[in-house]
Amino acid sequence: EDKVVQSPLSLVVHEGDTVTLNCSYEVTNFRSLLWYKQEKKAPTFLFMLTSSGIEKKSGRLSSILDKKELFSILNITATQTGDSAIYLCAVAGPRNKLVFGAGTILRVKS
C-alpha cells in the first residue's frame, strides 16, 4: 500500500527561526512529489518535484527531493507568523493520483 509519512507532526518556533519539514514515501510508480500549504481549508500549491537533487526555491521556501532515499525536505528560513499552517506532502503516481501524508502543523510565535 502506498504510504507518505511526514515529520514532525507539529512544531512551534519563533519568528526568524529556520525550520525543516520532512517527508518520506513508499509509492509504486512514482511520478512527482508535491508540497502544499493548508490554512483554513484549501491546500495551496507550493512546489512540484520530479528530479533528484534539484532544489526548488520560492522566496524563503525551498525544497529538494532524494529519489534514491525516497524523501523530500521543505525548508522555511526567517519564519514569519504568516507561515503558520499545515504543510502537506503528497506523492503522485499514475494518472496523477495523489497520496497525502498527514501533514506537519507549524506554529510561528511572534
Q: Which residues bind other proteins (CB under 8 A)?
A: 4, 31-32, 34, 36, 40-45, 48, 50, 88, 90, 92, 94-103
- 1 or 110, CB closer to other proteins? 1
15: which DSSP letter? Answer: T
Distance CA 21, CA 28 (A): 23
Residue 39 or residue 55: which is nearer to other proteins going by CB? 39
By C-beta, is 91 or 108 nearer to other proteins? 91
Q: How far apart are CA 63 and CA 15, in angstroms?
A: 20
Q: How far is the CB of 85 from other proteins (least distance, A)?
A: 14
Task: Using the minimum distance from each CB to other proteins, give the nearer residue, 73 or 86.
Answer: 86
- Smallest gap from Cβ 26 to other proteins, in A, equals 15
Burial string for 62-89 (b: 16+ CB within 10 Å, else e) reads ebbbeeeeebbbbebeebeeebbbbbbb
Question: CB of residue 48 vs other proteins: minimum separation in angstroms?
Answer: 5
Q: Which three cell numbers stand for residue 9?
A: 507532526
